[in-house]
Amino acid sequence: MIQFVGLDERFLPRMAEILSLRHTAERSKYPFLPEKFENPDETEHILRTEMKKPFVNGLVALRNSKVIGYLLYEFKENAQKGRHILISYPSIAIDVTEHPRLVRLMYAEAGSEWVKHGYFQHIIFAPLGNDRQMNEWLEQGFRFDQKYAVLDMDQYEVKNKDQVNIQVRKSVEKDEELLKKMSRWNSIHQAAAPSWNPITKETLEDVKSGYASLASDEEAIVFLGEEKGIPAGFHVYYEVEASDTMYTPERCVELPAASTNPELRGRGIGKALTDFSVNELKEMGYRYCLADWHTPNHLSSYFWPKMGYQPFMVRMLRTVDNRIAWAHGK
């Protein structure tokens, strides 16, 4: 018999053990994940950090008084998404001996409270290593929204063997106007089929100013490609601290933005930029790169895995029909 109870300090050691075992299983498929989180002491610290957030709650699943799983969730609210529930990467785990259906049971138990209080959008950052658990989320009506992947640059093979004729360099402060011109490429593409991700004129202006500021951002590593004076593409990288998450490797950068001039696509420019970037980043002492992309974006979903990026986590969404607040068949 499974019993669901509220969070309690006494459950933490066992919750941490379950999470560390989940991480060990994930690392068997994705060895770039940090090894230290196979240690329950490290995962307990992660869980304590999550539980200290002001709007985090959760439940614990017990069988014969033994913890067999847990689910933490955060109540959030903002102008973009409205009221929503966030389940972060370390916030759900079940014992390896349990049937994956347990994630469905915990979701149903906790979700009743969410829906009752008007939280109809549910977001989870789910590890990709367990196909059976992933299937449980899909069968509950969740869908893929954003994939997260890591490139091991030591394993990278040069992709642009035909040597497309572009000049790639690091950006300088005088590139502000050039970066403004490039800022539209990603936004316009994301609004097109099949992403259909709307972007307003106001948002586009914010994007322009954000890209322009990259030219003077001392922490940004920006590579620009040009062909006969015509802007051809760009990559933007930032160093990330490995201690920030359970999935960031040591000596890692992240790639928050990259694009190719729409008029020059299909000629190997993206490959040339990636070749140059990887070589430069390795020279700077980095080994891994973390990237993510909107799954309906068919260009990104095809290009980055082809470059060697290995997906390990996915952001999934479910939006409950809000008529459930009053439509009960009565």
User: Residue 254 forms beta bridges with which residues?
Assistant: 238, 290
Q: Is 126 found in the same domain as 220?
A: no
**In which domain, by residue range, is 185 found?**
152-312
Last residue of a domain, one of 113, 141, 169: 141
Q: Is 94 found in the same domain as 187?
A: no
Residue 262: pLDDT above 70? yes
147 domain-assigned: no
19 domain-assigned: yes
Q: Is 169 found in the same domain as 307?
A: yes
pLDDT band at 195 (very low <50, low <70, confident <90, very high): confident
% of the chain residues with pLDDT over 70? 98
Q: Is 299 found in the same domain as 157?
A: yes
Q: Is 54 found in the same domain as 203?
A: no
How many C-beta atoms lie closer than 10 Å to residue 4's C-beta?
15
Residues 6+ apart with CB under 8 A from 123: 84, 85, 86, 87, 145, 315, 316, 317
Question: What pLDDT score does 163 carry?
Answer: 63
Structural domains of the chain, count:
2
pLDDT tens figures, 280-318 = 999 999 999 999 999 999 999 999 999 999 999 999 999
317 domain-assigned: no
Last residue of a domain, one of 115, 141, 167: 141
pLDDT tens figures, 30-48 = 999 999 999 999 999 999 9
Q: Is 274 found in the same domain as 201?
A: yes
pLDDT band at 162 (very low <50, low <70, confident <90, very high): low
Question: What pLDDT score does 208 carry?
Answer: 79
Q: How far apart are CA 219 and CA 24, in angstroms?
A: 33
Question: What pLDDT score does 217 carry?
Answer: 92
Q: Is 37 found in the same domain as 17?
A: yes
200 domain-assigned: yes
Last residue of a domain, one of 141, 168, 202: 141
Question: What pLDDT score does 203 carry?
Answer: 77
pLDDT band at 160 (very low <50, low <70, confident <90, very high): low
Residue 13: pLDDT above 70? yes
306, containing H or E segment: helix 298-307
Q: Is 122 found in the same domain as 20?
A: yes
Q: What are phi and psi of 241, to 5 degrees?
A: -80, 130
pLDDT band at 161 (very low <50, low <70, confident <90, very high): low
321 domain-assigned: no
How many C-beta atoms lie closer than 10 Å to residue 285's C-beta?
8
Q: Is 81 found in the same domain as 225?
A: no
Residue type, 328: H
The arithmetic mean of pLDDT across residues 55-62, rounded, is 97
The arithmetic mean of pLDDT across residues 230-249, rounded, is 92
The full 3-state SS of 90-140, as one line of letters, equals CCEEECCCCCCHHHHHHHHHHHHHHHHCCCCEEEEEEECCCHHHHHHHHHC
Q: Is 16 found in the same domain as 137?
A: yes
Q: Is 208 found in the same domain as 135?
A: no
Which pTM value belongs to this model?
A: 0.94
pLDDT tens figures, 113-136 = 999 999 999 999 999 999 999 999
The arithmetic mean of pLDDT across residues 263-292, rounded, is 94
Q: How far apart are CA 320 and CA 71, in angstroms?
A: 19
Q: What is the CATH number of the domain that holds 26?
A: 3.40.630.30
Residues 6+ apart with CB under 8 A from 266: none
Q: Is 15 found in the same domain as 106?
A: yes
324 domain-assigned: no
